[in-house]
Amino acid sequence: MSLLALYKVSPLAVISNALTGAAHGTAFGLGAVYGLQKGFDNSLVALFMASFLWGGFLLQWPIGWLSDKYGRRGIMLITAMAAVVMCLLASVWDISSSSYIPLIAVVGGLVMPMYSLCVAYASDRLSPEQIVSASGAMVMASGIGLSVGPILVALAMSSFGPDVYFIGIALAFLAITLAVLNSMRYREVTLADVEDQSPILAAGVIGTPIAAFTAPDAQDYAEALEEDELELLDDSDEWTQAPIAGPEIAVPDADASAEEDHY
């Protein structure tokens, strides 16, 4: 599946995944640069980078479980909004505080699971046969963000200082927030909604209670047609009219019906 084809199926997943790639590329491509510009020693830079992964490892499962239980878009929205707030806090937080590394772990816990949420959201709209090829398209979308995001943030850091590092990540997740809000204007349709529908089949006219009253032996006549016993029924006194063209249902004697109606 091409990236364009996947976009037509789920534009939110593709856009959010590209923005997530930009945030991830910034976090890991410029994290060491940020730490060195802020005066971290080598061990603190390593701890700073590892805290992103620890947070992502710890919050990956609960965020995924919540998205399974309460819906993808809602959890994507909450996660993106929380990531924006925490990134802005990290940009002004005292780096010498003992709470700084735990704060970075929380930032990583909110930033890292978004890729999985985007993939799960796209997979909900695909058949099992499409998921493998769509995964390649999702990687491509993420790669676009990975290649563009760090370059733009690096240029901004060179002009405005290292604190733009977290602001760049916050802007990516702010864009995800807006994309999810825009998507929520429309009703969510998943593949399961389509699979639950039965295929349209051609059907004949269904008989009415009046037809059952005027032709009470129609079922027997239809069964006789299937069993090639039409001649036997035509010779019987029960039937006064043979089918003219096709398996038409015979009707009772018209004179008898007229007498009954007259009575």
Closest CA to 260 of 224, 216, 226, 229: 216
Do 104 and 186 lie in one domain? The reply is: yes
Residue 149 lies in a domain: yes
Give the end of a domain, one of 195, 217, 250. Answer: 195
Do 61 and 166 lie in one domain? The reply is: yes
Q: Is 161 helix (H, G, I), strand (E, B) or coil?
A: coil
Give the end of a domain, one of 144, 161, 195. Answer: 195
Residue 242 lies in a domain: yes
- What is the CATH classification number for the domain harbouring 173? 1.20.1250.20
Do 41 and 157 lie in one domain? The reply is: yes
Do 113 and 155 lie in one domain? The reply is: yes
Do 112 and 21 lie in one domain? The reply is: yes
Residue 203 lies in a domain: no
Do 220 and 179 lie in one domain? The reply is: no
Closest CA to 41 of 102, 103, 95: 95
CA 53/CA 157 separation, integer angstroms: 23
- The pLDDT value given to residue 221: 58
SS (HEC) of 220-257:
HHHHHHHCCCHHHHHCCCCCCCCCCCCCCCCCCCHHHH
Residue 201 lies in a domain: no
Q: Give the pLDDT of the chain (263 residues) as one tens digit per residue.
A: 788 888 988 899 999 999 999 999 999 999 999 999 998 988 999 999 999 999 999 999 999 999 988 888 999 999 999 999 999 999 999 888 889 999 999 999 999 999 999 999 998 888 888 888 888 899 999 999 999 999 999 999 999 999 899 999 999 999 999 999 998 887 655 555 445 444 444 444 455 555 555 555 656 656 665 665 555 545 555 544 444 444 455 555 545 444 444 44
- The pLDDT value given to residue 184: 86
Residue 156 lies in a domain: yes
Do 164 and 57 lie in one domain? The reply is: yes
Do 120 and 144 lie in one domain? The reply is: yes
Domain count of the fold of the chain: 2
Write out the H or E segment, with its range, that includes residue 93. Answer: none
Do 117 and 222 lie in one domain? The reply is: no
Residue 202 lies in a domain: no
Do 184 and 130 lie in one domain? The reply is: yes
**Stated pTM of the model:** 0.69
- Identity of the residue numbered 26: T
Phi, psi of 184, rounded to the nearest 5 degrees? -70, -10
CA 23/CA 114 separation, integer angstroms: 10
CA 113/CA 96 separation, integer angstroms: 27
Do 85 and 140 lie in one domain? The reply is: yes
CA 17/CA 118 separation, integer angstroms: 6
Give the end of a domain, one of 141, 164, 195. Answer: 195
Write out the H or E segment, with its range, that includes residue 261. Answer: helix 254-262
- The pLDDT value given to residue 210: 56
CA 5/CA 49 separation, integer angstroms: 36
Domain housing 63:
3-195
Residue 94 lies in a domain: yes
Burial group, residue 47, by CB count within 10 angstroms (0-12, 13-18, 19+): middle
Do 216 and 189 lie in one domain? The reply is: no
Residue 28 lies in a domain: yes
